[in-house]
Amino acid sequence: MTGTAHETAEKDEAWAIVHDVAGDIDPVVEKRVLRKIDLFLMPAMMIGYGIVYWDKAILGSASLFGMTTDLHLSVVDYSTTPATTDTSRLSWATSLFYFGMMAGMYPMTFLLQRFQLRLVFGPVVMLWAVICAATAGVSTWQGLYVQRFFLGFVESVIPSGFMTVVSGYYTQQEQSLRQAWWFSGTGWFTIIGSALNYAFAHIPSASLTRWQCIYLFASALTFIFGLWCFAMPNSPVSAWFLTAEERVVAVERLRKGQTGVRCQRIKMEQIKECATDPKLYLIFLMMASAYAINGAVTGFGPLIVSTFGYDTLDSILFQFPVGAVSLIFIPLCGYLTTRIPNIRIPLLILCCLPVIAGCAMIWKSSWAYHAAAPVVGYALIGFFGPVVSLVITLGASNVAGATKKTVMAATVFVAYTVGNIIGPQLVKSETKAQHYPELWKGMIICYCITITCATLLYIHLRRENRRRDAMDLDESLRDKIAFDDLTDGENLFFRYVM
């Protein structure tokens, strides 16, 4: 049977170039194909997601450059003795970005599935650049609220889109490292962004303030990334940077994992299956709990560090260790999972422990002038990066069916927004003298929830794999249904990774 017999809207577009019997793959060609895919996707996706992370994190540093005063994001109450400062407006400016992302996540991700990638990514990223640049024109805190909401709305398609793109180009074994590579953009841009913020801090204020210059520069980087998005192929089937032979190999090598390539028809039955899948809810809770700390760090990190007895510029530089931890351990965990099978969840739990220790150190240590202990604790919370990266990998690698993958990707990043909304609200300026106890206690509780959910997920996946291994399945069907756009629940040849 040839691929043309399968060319319907119900099927994966892989059938356009492969047969229902697995073909032989030349290892040399496969290695060349993987290298080409890596070179096209990974550097640009790493930069793209780094910009997504940075233009949120800018708010924390921009507040140190006068944005808080210029836009009246903090209110000082002189009727109390001593005077108290209310930073709730800054908290809401941070959270509203994620409300916008939450609102856009499902419609934008389904839009990405329904239409060609370049026709969605390209225009949306260009719009993102415009909205980011518009920050420089905001003159009130109310205007900033509006800008932040729409910035989150348009950016919503990037992380969920990247998650599904990787699942359509790479095998299950390869996905963990590749998801880690693009997500490590958070680490790169924590360091690069902090260095840029430090540099902008030395620019003399003229017609534009320093924080306005930072946002304009970020919008320029976003525009350049948008040009690459217009060149993104829809799937390996149409990858213009591969030869005809290489495109066949790029698709054929995905057959064993039974995850499929890409189907643009949205299927209600797959949405219903996802809604009854316990994996969805466990991964949602893990992501929301693990990422709550990011909302606090991106919006308030430099301000929190400045209370350790360091000046404004020093507090920006102390973002470097947090970025370094993410930069090193996100790819390292991804690499280890490619070498040792089924260690994703054990590694995730292990990486939760330094975060809990870091929160406890910041909370309970002395915040004396130039205190070292809270700075060490602040660096340790950078381990939230590999935790979240592994959650993304678990979500992407353990579902099949194009629509179900879309729902899972959107849900993972809706959970991401929930965590980021919760985090800033736990920073209570009036508890600064007590070391923000609500924040650190809340984060410790969140990471205990993450560990519990990860343990339950491991038990569930292991039990399901054993049940399927015990079945007497007709192996001759494996190749024939690999690209029929079946879900992991429908396809009993699918095996879950832990």
pLDDT tens for each residue of 406-438 = 999 999 989 988 988 887 777 776 666 677 778
Question: Would you state the pLDDT for residue 370?
Answer: 67
Residues 163/179, Cβ–Cβ less than 8 Å: yes
Tokens of 420: 């980021």
Question: Would you state the pLDDT for residue 84?
Answer: 67
**Maximum mean pLDDT: which of 11-15, 147-151, 292-296:** 147-151
pLDDT range class, residue 16, cuts 50, 70, 90: confident
Q: Is the pLDDT of residue 5 over 60?
A: no
Phi-psi region of 436 (alpha: psi -120 to 50; beta: other; left: phi over 0): left
Question: Would you state the pLDDT for residue 234?
Answer: 87
Instruction: Look at the block and give the residue holding tokens 């390869």.
Output: 174
As a 3-state breakdown, the chain gives helix, strand, coil percent values, each rounded to 5, of 75, 0, 25
pLDDT range class, residue 303, cuts 50, 70, 90: low
Q: Which of 84-88, 89-93, 345-349, 491-495 has the lowest mean pLDDT?
A: 84-88
Question: Would you state the pLDDT for residue 434?
Answer: 74
Contacting residues for 9 by C-beta, under 8 A, at least 6 apart: 263, 264, 265
Question: Would you state the pLDDT for residue 197?
Answer: 72
Residues 497/342, Cβ–Cβ less than 8 Å: yes
Residues 283/414, Cβ–Cβ less than 8 Å: no
Residues 184/330, Cβ–Cβ less than 8 Å: yes
Residue 43 C-alpha from the chain's centroid? 15
Q: Taking the domains of the chain in order of start, what are their residue ranges?
A: 20-477
Mean pLDDT over residues 121-131, rounded?
95
Q: Which of 117-131, 243-257, 452-466 has the lowest mean pLDDT?
A: 243-257
Work out the number of other CB atoms within 10 angstroms of the CB of residue 14: 28
Instruction: Specify the amino acid at residue 65.
Output: F
Question: Would you state the pLDDT for residue 311?
Answer: 64
Residues 201/311, Cβ–Cβ less than 8 Å: no
Work out the number of other CB atoms within 10 angstroms of the CB of residue 39: 11
**Maximum mean pLDDT: which of 240-254, 297-311, 469-483:** 240-254
**pLDDT digits 0-9 by tens, 155-171:** 999 988 898 889 889 98
Question: Would you state the pLDDT for residue 276?
Answer: 94
Question: Would you state the pLDDT for residue 362?
Answer: 84
Residues 175/167, Cβ–Cβ less than 8 Å: yes
pLDDT range class, residue 232, cuts 50, 70, 90: very high
Tell me which H or E stretch contains 437. Answer: helix 437-469
Instruction: Look at the block and give the residue holding tokens 């909302």.
Output: 295
Tokens of 391: 């959650």
**Which DSSP state fits 471?**
S
Helix (H, G, I), strand (E, B) or coil at 26: coil
Fold of 20-477: Growth Hormone; Chain: A; (1.20.1250)
For 77, phi then psi, to 5°, come to: -100, 105
Question: Would you state the pLDDT for residue 7?
Answer: 45
Cα separation values, 185 from 190, 297, 307, 325, Å? 8, 16, 27, 12
Q: Identify any residues that bridge with 86 across adjacent strands, giving them in sequence order.
A: 75
Nearest-angstrom CA–CA distance, 376 and 451: 23
Burial class (CB in 10 A: 0-12, 13-18, 19+), 343: middle
Kindly state the percentage of the chain with pLDDT values over 90: 37
Q: Which of 295-299, 396-400, 470-474 has the lowest mean pLDDT?
A: 295-299
Tokens of 321: 């260790």
Tell me which H or E stretch contains 75. Answer: strand 75-77
**pLDDT digits 0-9 by tens, 316-325:** 667 778 778 8
Nearest-angstrom CA–CA distance, 319 and 296: 13
The chain-wide mean pLDDT, for the chain, equals 84
Residues 325/382, Cβ–Cβ less than 8 Å: yes
**pLDDT digits 0-9 by tens, 382-405:** 899 899 999 999 998 898 888 998
